[in-house]
Each structure stands twice: as structure tokens, then as C-alpha cells.
Chain A
Amino acid sequence: KNQVEQSPQSLIILEGKNCTLQCNYTVSPFSNLRWYKQDTGRGPVSLTIMTFSENTKSNGRYTATLDADTKQSSLHITASQLSDSASYICVVNDMRFGAGTRLTVKP
């Protein structure tokens, strides 16, 4: 069983809407959690990184939250744009990758 589970596997939303992606992990001990955006056919691009002491981090329209007690993280995207269509990957401790959530933003 993967130690980093992401949900949903895929998501379709309309342009301008908000959405939230989930990441649950069982990795222990915990050091850091990263969120990446991966466009089709390209390498992942870093969005945020959080350590144990941080519970929220923003990068423009992207806001990540972390609850280290429940081992959950979320990535909230505000006012989605067509360019947000991509896979979003959660990574714990730089070595444990989730399978990603495929987001499609439609006009």
C-alpha cells in the first residue's frame, strides 16, 4: 500500500471555480511535504513545501495546508484557470510520492 494517498484520482471543474485536492500519508517520521504541478509531458514543478511546524503555505492562487497530527494535507486552488489543468503530486519526505490528482479545467 502506498504511504501517500491522493484523492480524488481525477477531477473536472469549470474555469473560475475553486477546488481542493487531498493528500493523506502514513510516512513516519515526518520531515517535509511538497506539492508539485506536472503538465502533460513535462517534469514536475514545485508549488509549495511545508515542514512540521507549518500548517499553511501559499503560492499565488495555490494554498497548501498541513495537519501533521492527522497526517493530512490539502491543496486549494482558487479561481481556477485553463492553465491549471495538470496533475498535482504530493510528496512526503522527498521520497514518498503520491500517484497524483489529474485536474481538468474546462471553459
Chain B
Amino acid sequence: NAGVTQTPKFQVLKTGQSMTLQCAQDMNHEYMSWYRQDPGMGLRLIHYSVGAGITDQGEVPNGYNVSRSTTEDFPLRLLSAAPSQTSVYFCASSRGVLLSTDTQYFGPGTRLTVL
């Protein structure tokens, strides 16, 4: 099993550009989520999904869109990148949904810089 994979590992964008961060898992997990991690701050939840076709907003959803057409994939879209979106983005998955006791597995992260 590859676990949770994320692409790309690094990305530089100009303000106003759009892009999609890819996330995939091969563990047949129902729950997937996206976080951003900024220096000196804890990870913050952007969006999450409890299954294919179901998504919901987390703590900091503005500027980001998600979709979940398959169990395996959960892409994160930046429609018009802003410097405030410079961050490290992590995707995670688990068998159980929020507040379960199942282990949550994180991907290796995507380091995004918006100029």
C-alpha cells in the first residue's frame, strides 16, 4: 500500500493563478481531509469528506474548493491564489469519520508558495 500520496511536493504560483493539489489513498478510507500548516500555528482544517460525493467545510475553507468523486481521490483547488495561501498543505485519511478512534494517516505534504 502506498498510503496517502500527494502531488506535487513543491509548487510556486503567482497571485491569481489557479491550481489543484492532488491527494489519493489506497486504503479504502471513507474519511479524507485537507489541512494547512503555517509556522508557529497548529494545523487547520480546510475541507473534509466523509465519503464519495460528500464534502464539508472546515475551519478555514475560504479560497479553496474540493470535490470527492471517488473514494480514493480528494483534490484541493485554489481558484485564484493569494500570498496568504502560502503554506504547507497536508491531506489525511482514516477509516472512520470525525471523532472516531481510527488512526488518521497523513500524506507527505505539498509546500506551496504564492508570489
Q: Provide the bound-state CA to CA distance between A91 and B99, in Å.
A: 11
A4 contact set on B, CB distance < 8 A: 42
**Cβ contacts B84-104/A at 8 Å (1 or 0 each):** 000000101000001101011
Is A26 positioned at the interface, with any CB of B under 8 Å from its CB? no
Q: Provide the bound-state CA to CA distance between A4 and B45, in Å.
A: 14
Q: Provide the bound-state CA to CA distance between A80 and B58, in Å.
A: 36
Tell me whether chain B's interface is mostly helix, strand or loop, or mixed.
Answer: loop
Task: Evaluate contact between A95 and B103: CB separation under 8 angstroms.
Answer: no
Task: Evaluate contact between A99 and B99: CB separation under 8 angstroms.
Answer: no
Instruction: Please classify how large the interface on chain A is, using the bins under 10, 10 to 19, 20 to 34, 35 or more.
Output: 20 to 34
A93 contact set on B, CB distance < 8 A: 98-99
Spot the interface stretch: B13-21, B64-72, B105-113: B105-113
CB contacts between A and B, total, < 8 Å: 50
A96 contact set on B, CB distance < 8 A: 42
**A residues 27-64 with Cβ under 8 Å of B?**
31-32, 34, 41-46, 49, 51
How many residues on the B side are at the interface (Cβ–Cβ under 8 A)?
Answer: 22
Task: Evaluate contact between A49 and B101: CB separation under 8 angstroms.
Answer: yes
Q: Smallest Cβ distance from A1 to chain B, in angstroms?
A: 12
Is B115 positioned at the interface, with any CB of A under 8 Å from its CB? no
Q: Smallest Cβ distance from A59 to chain B, in angstroms?
A: 11
Task: Evaluate contact between B59 and A43: CB separation under 8 angstroms.
Answer: no
Task: Evaluate contact between B104 and A97: CB separation under 8 angstroms.
Answer: no
Contact of B109 among A32, A42, A45 (CB under 8 A): A42
**Cβ contacts B24-50/A at 8 Å (1 or 0 each):** 000000000001000011111100000
Q: Provide the bound-state CA to CA distance between A91 and B58, in Å.
A: 15
**Contacts A43-B92, A96-B42, A97-B43 given; 15 further ones with Cβ under 8 A?**
A2-B41, A32-B99, A43-B106, A43-B107, A44-B43, A44-B106, A49-B101, A49-B103, A89-B43, A94-B99, A95-B45, A95-B59, A95-B98, A97-B44, A99-B41
Residues of B within 8 A of A (CB): 4, 35, 40-45, 58-59, 90, 92, 98-99, 101, 103-109
Residues of A within 8 A of B (CB): 2, 4, 31-32, 34, 41-46, 49, 51, 89, 91, 93-100
